Structure 1
């Protein structure tokens, strides 16, 4: 019979909590869109619904060739200056928490087939306990995947995001440098 030493148990625990559980494939993007890819409004995949915000940059909607389950709304976020994709997001709405959680479980299974086991950490556990909102993660920064069911009463939304943390920081820095138009600081 094998016995576990304190160091062995600690190593397993730290590996699990830090999200170091390895992925079989690196996160590069989703739904046919690559993180870091340069994209313009004229790209045939882009379907309109443009939106801009002070902290997130430009958002462009697209229709994937292969949508997933009940996820209905797809968009990318791009850096203001270089138009590089730093986030690919898919969203779907559900009438109940159970329906949202069921779709999240199917999504987790599909992602585990491609990327290996999820990355769990203590933040996710505390968040899940405090809010009842389950969060799943794959990959490691700077490229990672985060999915969660969000909602308390009525509508529950499932959000899946492929994220490039380095490019997201660049987008925020570019937006801050721009400092013009409705998001400038001159009126504060």
Structure 2
């Protein structure tokens, strides 16, 4: 018998239908809020790829997209908040509304750095949309305009979220078995 990625998942936290329904609601809210002046959607690589793809298809506005990749140093499952840019925006955000789209907000340290960085570039506004937020893991307070789901402080994978670059392609968000990431 072959081993699949699903074998490493303890339980499904959010199924595919729940995720798609919530992203549709978020997309409608974004379309309403930015009807007069559509935002530049900034996806944070790699985890937000699935979220950006599915969310933007539900925003009925002419929007532009760009991507950033940032790396925060720390141990395997924790962020230190020390950040470096691996891929910067190609677009000029001066006088534009910017909507950062994240897969998950844990400590908030990396996102806080990213918000400060982008706000220093002269945009009209910078807001955040995230599929998942872990309130119990927050180390800094971040104002998030659009939240898909608040979840418990557990190690989750799927729907773009990874562990060691695996599990991103799972169609749901699941809790990873501790035996996979703890020795």
Q: Which one has the bigger helix percentage?
A: 1
TM tier relative to shorter chain:
under 0.3
TM-score by length of 2: 0.26
Instruction: Compute the TM-score of the two structures, normalised by the length of structure 1.
Output: 0.25
